[in-house]
Chains A and B, each alone.
Chain A
Amino acid sequence: MDMVNIKINGMSYEVAAGSTILEAAREAGIDIPTLCFLKDVNQIGACRMCMVEVKGAKSLVAACVYPVNEGMEVFTNTPKVQKSRKMTLELLLSVHDRKCLSCKRSGTCELQKLCNDMGIDSENRYEGAVPAGKKDYSTLYLERDNAKCILCRRCVAACQQQHVAVIGANNRGFDTEIGCAFEMPLSEVACVSCGQCIVACPTGALTEKDNTQQVIDAINDPEKVVVVQTAPAVRAALGEEFGMPIGTNVEGKMVAALRRLGFDKVYDTDFGADMTIMEEANEFIDRVKNGGKLPIITSCSPGWVKFCEHYFPSLTENLSTCKSPQQMTGALIKTWFAEREGIDPNNIVSVSVMPCVAKKFEINRDDEDAAGVPDVDISITTRELARMIKMAQLNFARLPEEDFDPVMGVSTGAATIFGATGGVLEAALRTAADVLEGVDHDNIEYKEIRGTKGFKEAVYKVAGMDVKVAVVSGLNNANELLKKIESGEADYHIVEVMCCPGGCVNGGGQPIQPSTVRSFTDIKALRAKALYDEDAAKTLRKSHLNPVVKECYEWMGGEPGCHKAHELLHTSYVKRDRF
């Protein structure tokens, strides 16, 4: 690596050529404050928070985009720099609603932290006109409150990175506001509901639609049996909300917390994931044998499904008709569980905890109601679960480790890795190889399709057939691949698509890490590792070996793909407009 010599605050350092002042200073143990900066997503030098002095430069420079060069002398802590930082913050506050006490992001807000760090002593130094700040509560999954927006454009960049780009800066100067084309509400544009904008937002301008009160009301209703399920990725991130290191698996404590919150049954979406594998593997084999649409494309990720419907309506027939694990688990709660326990499905409230805000959209889709009532009634995010735990004042770190309830708490390692990009396909291959070849394979780790890269491909020999597979995460990658599939340039048999970069572990409903962490730590890799470790430690690592899965098929009176499975566990798609 080429190195250059620079001085920061009078001290000499050798730093990588081509790095920015921000990166070089960080290596030297000096943090330069930022707001709009989000590495590899938004590097536009717009917010002017990171201004530093460079010897010989006429004015302050933006450290997040300014490259170092040989002999450069940088000053990050002069009175001039401090004055600039303060003024930038005070100007931002002058058009901000400053209702920190009731803000969901209080404690994780980057603006709030910087005001604290910089010792802002007057939150209304500059008084005058304040823009109205539009609010958009139109969707089922997220809320925008522009009174808290600092126009950093991180959400805009995140949306562009998902190849969706339905939000942007409208109008000009003092009237500038982030919104949709022609001031349409978000519910009326081709938003895919991934929530990557929420986790990119440094303030409380973007938040998930909070459904916690509905859950609490259901728990407090003596007439209702409240059943909860949790997705694999939740256990890999929930601990972050309680100060634990990124990548801590808190499955046991999470289950204990859910029980103490008053849920009647605590089930695992992993069980639904095992069912998904059974149905999807069967569907794939059926399509190969009977000349069905190939590639078969996974349908677990509702943000991806909505993207496909809006942007590639011609490929909706390629989507697996399998419901997502959330919906399968929900469907079986309202049918199988209801029947076993002798409960009217109308009296069951089915709640899911998801790393995702798109799941809030998914539960309201058509054809997701196996028992004639919604498979899932309320979907909350990892963040909302943390909020409920905090509200109940449970000391999360001191909770015991507990197990999921039988029977839908039994699952395999194959299901656990659903939370990471490549996991669904690996799980499917484990089952397909065993079932088709009639062998209980020991070598079940498909390393080629692991890792956080946005695009992966491989060819596996399964029952004498060369199966060409591709795995993409992040919708820009999906877009590239789908264009090739649409044009016939790519000839894969199975494609796994996850909407969020890195898969569900990096979902829009996960705990929010500030830019200072996100920009320099591979969060998705750390969270994914927690899931792969759990898989490796399990004795049951193949979906078809899950005894409860077998039990469930006995109840349905058949094999994967049987009539009842189709009735309960499959769904349909629609074609939507892009504009």
Chain B
Amino acid sequence: MQKRISTIPFTDTPEQHEKLLAVIESLKNEKGAVMAALHKAQDIYGYLPIEVQKEIARGLDVSLEEVYGVSTFYSQFSLTPKGKYNISICLGTACYVKGADKVLDRLVAKLGIQPEECTPDGVFSLTACRCIGACGLAPVLTVNEDVYGRLVPEDVDKILAKYTA
């Protein structure tokens, strides 16, 4: 799936920025530095917005496109921030045949965001994931550490309400 790009304004703390610069400094002149820098930057910020990727490109003296190309190739990199509550819906085989796509449609409609996006208020983010090993509960979704199973689309409203209350 094509990576989604964040439209939410980037916020950076001096501590985070300092950490990022230190990471870049430690990787200068190393082979494969882009990959390592992206990993560590994602640890610091939770995702890899353009501001962070530019800093990496400038620091490692590579083109921004090279950094972006790597960040969109590997699935572990995210270009969108996670919300306070990250909703992860399983689209693995069992969940899918049990109607996970309908649940996802409902989530998209209610939240107004696509998978790999975050709501503008930063409360919810949505991830479509692969099998999480809870096929007996299919279709299943998690909100941070909470698991919800045997879902029908209507359940979505109740679940969201719990976290917006």
Chain A interface residues toward B at CB < 8 A: 164-172, 175, 180-183, 189, 578-579
A579 engages B68 (CB within 8 Å): no
Size band of the B side of the interface? Answer: 20 to 34
B50 at interface, CB cutoff 8 A = yes
Q: List 12 A-B contacts (CB under 8 A).
A: A165-B62, A168-B63, A168-B65, A168-B66, A170-B69, A171-B3, A171-B73, A172-B75, A181-B63, A181-B67, A182-B68, A189-B64
B119 at interface, CB cutoff 8 A = no
Q: How far is the CA of A180 from the CA of B65 in the complex (A)?
A: 6
Q: Which B residues from 49 to 91 make CB contacts under 8 A with A? A: 50, 53-54, 57-58, 62-69, 72-75
Q: Which B residues from 24 to 54 make CB contacts under 8 A with A? A: 50, 53-54
Q: How far is the CA of A171 from the CA of B3 in the complex (A)?
A: 7
Q: How far is the CA of A167 from the CA of B68 in the complex (A)?
A: 10
Q: How far is the CA of A169 from the CA of B69 in the complex (A)?
A: 6
User: How many Å from the CB of B75 to the closest CB on chain A?
Assistant: 8
A172 engages B72 (CB within 8 Å): yes
User: How many Å from the CB of A483 to the closest CB on chain B?
Assistant: 11
> Across the interface, which residues of A come within 8 angstroms of B53, CB to CB?
181-182
SS of B interface (majority) = helix
User: How many Å from the CB of B11 to the closest CB on chain A?
Assistant: 18
> Across the interface, which residues of B come within 8 angstroms of A175, CB to CB?
1-2
User: How many Å from the CB of B147 to the closest CB on chain A?
Assistant: 29
> Across the interface, which residues of B come within 8 angstroms of A166, CB to CB?
63-65
Nearest to B63 among chain A residues (CB) is A165
> Across the interface, which residues of A come within 8 angstroms of B159, CB to CB?
none
B5 at interface, CB cutoff 8 A = yes
B2 engages A182 (CB within 8 Å): no
Q: How far is the CA of A54 from the CA of B66 in the complex (A)?
A: 35
Q: How far is the CA of A175 from the CA of B72 in the complex (A)?
A: 10
Q: How far is the CA of A418 from the CA of B143 in the complex (A)?
A: 67
B68 engages A170 (CB within 8 Å): yes
> Across the interface, which residues of B come within 8 angstroms of A171, CB to CB?
2-3, 72-73
> Across the interface, which residues of B come within 8 angstroms of A169, CB to CB?
69, 73
Partner of A183 from B5, B54, B62, B66 at Cβ < 8 Å: B5
A168 engages B54 (CB within 8 Å): no
User: How many Å from the CB of A117 to the closest CB on chain B?
Assistant: 33
User: How many Å from the CB of A179 to the closest CB on chain B?
Assistant: 8
Q: How far is the CA of A165 from the CA of B68 in the complex (A)?
A: 12
User: How many Å from the CB of A136 to the closest CB on chain B?
Assistant: 13
User: How many Å from the CB of A97 to the closest CB on chain B?
Assistant: 19
A579 engages B58 (CB within 8 Å): yes
Q: How far is the CA of A573 from the CA of B40 in the complex (A)?
A: 39
User: How many Å from the CB of A81 to the closest CB on chain B?
Assistant: 31
> Across the interface, which residues of B come within 8 angstroms of A172, CB to CB?
72-75
A168 engages B50 (CB within 8 Å): no
User: How many Å from the CB of A77 to the closest CB on chain B?
Assistant: 36
> Across the interface, which residues of B come within 8 angstroms of A579, CB to CB?
54, 57-58, 64
Q: How far is the CA of A183 from the CA of B73 in the complex (A)?
A: 14
Q: How far is the CA of A180 from the CA of B54 in the complex (A)?
A: 13
Q: Which B residues from 95 to 128 make CB contacts under 8 A with A? A: none
Q: How far is the CA of A443 from the CA of B146 in the complex (A)?
A: 86
Q: How far is the CA of A309 from the CA of B62 in the complex (A)?
A: 18
